[in-house]
Amino acid sequence: MSADIDAVLEVDTRVDLAGIALRNPVLAASGTFGYGSEFAPFLDLRKIGGFVAKSLTLEPRVGNPPPRIAEAASGLLNSISLENVGVEAFIHEKLPAIPEGVVVVTSAFETEIDRYAEVCRRLTGVPRIAGIEINASCPHVKSGGIEFGQDPQVLRQLVRSVRRATTLPLLVKLSPNVTSIAEMARVCEGEGADGLSLINAVQALEVDVERRRPVLANGLGGLSGPAIRPIALRMVWQAAEAVKIPICGIGGIDSAQDAVKFLLCGASAVQVGTRNYLNPSAAQEIAEGMQAWAKGRGITRLADLVGTLEMPRR
């Protein structure tokens, strides 16, 4: 009898994110999950939707000098920079260490458009790679250091170029450091991006008053964690209003309820970020928590929640 009720209330957690089939909508965010296998002691990688690996550049890169991180109110300020093993070492050393059956999305990060495209070309056709997320928050050298994702014309050129370079599902991870996220979302959709990920870290500064210096060696950093969650929800909602391509919501997700909020605002899937550092089992707990949350409310399909926020209309 109770088994029948359980069967009736089974929650369908599957989602399609820009052509990537996920068993549930919870991925781990790029830069917070290493190359995946670091988390093997702490969770079952097959119990989460998948993960986005740390952003890759053409060559291995060394990061910034310390201090690289600082605690902020309900947040984490970081300036790690481009530190990564490089695209070839990822393909040949990191990817084989990831268990079969785990959805792996790669992230590309570069300083020039041609180099972004080359990273995408190298990743295309490699077995096991389910898609590419373009990290558009890198300073563009030719634009004087402004982020690629901050100038609609530069973002247009970037998405056009990487779209030509790969047939894989293509997500563009948007910078929140913009006036109109809707405009940036439309640019990506217009150039053939399959989906959007947002938001990346919010540009921020923390100050040591005694030394009269920034707390981070690099000066500015990116703020992540629960402090930015309401900003992220607002931007996901605005982007979802502006485009038809699917959205992966990111920003301070700590719990199943937080993840549901992003679905309501229009995200088809979510990425857990900073919380992975603090609780390396968090992504799995959130994925299982979403299922339990839905089950407790008689919701049979998580995808039915997407975009159902009742926003008052002016």
Q: Which residues are catalytic?
A: 138
Q: How far is the CB of 229 from other proteins (least distance, A)?
A: 9
Q: How far is the CB of 37 from other proteins (least distance, A)?
A: 8
Q: Which CB, 257 or 308, lies closer to other proteins?
A: 257
Of 38, 151, 206, 288, the one binding other proteins (CB under 8 A) is 38
Contact status: 62 vs other proteins (CB under 8 A) = yes
Q: How far is CA 310 from CA 239, 248, 263, 296, 304, in A?
A: 16, 20, 12, 21, 14
Write the CB contacts of 253 (distance below 8 Å, at least 6 apart in sequence).
229, 259, 262, 270, 271, 272, 273, 275, 286
Q: Which amino acid, 143?
A: S
Single out the segment in contact with other proteins by CB under 8 A; choices: 60-68, 105-113, 122-130, 188-196. Answer: 60-68
Contact status: 307 vs other proteins (CB under 8 A) = no
Contact status: 192 vs other proteins (CB under 8 A) = no
How far from the centroid of its chain's Cα atoms is residue 175's Cα?
A: 11
- Residue 108 parent element (H or E): strand 104-108
Of 13, 24, 30, 32, the one binding other proteins (CB under 8 A) is 32
Contact status: 34 vs other proteins (CB under 8 A) = yes
The footprint of other proteins on residues 267-296 (CB under 8 A) is 274-282
Cα gap 188→245, rounded to integer Å: 9
Contact status: 74 vs other proteins (CB under 8 A) = yes
Select from 127, 76, 102, 135 the least CA-distant residue to 277. 76
Torsion, Cα of 111, 117, 118, 122 (10° steps): 130
SS3 letters for 60-107? CECCCCCCCEEEECCEEEECCCCCECCHHHHHHHHHHHCCCCCCEEEE
Single out the segment in contact with other proteins by CB under 8 A; choices: 78-86, 158-166, 182-190, 287-295. Answer: 78-86
Q: Which amino acid, 30?
A: S
Contact status: 68 vs other proteins (CB under 8 A) = yes
Single out the segment in contact with other proteins by CB under 8 A; choices: 6-14, 31-39, 165-173, 306-314. Answer: 31-39
Contact status: 226 vs other proteins (CB under 8 A) = yes
Q: How far is the CB of 92 from other proteins (least distance, A)?
A: 13
How far from the centroid of its chain's Cα atoms is residue 143's Cα?
A: 24
* List of residues contacting other proteins (CB under 8 A): 32-34, 37-42, 62-76, 78, 80, 83, 85, 93, 217, 225-227, 254-255, 274-282
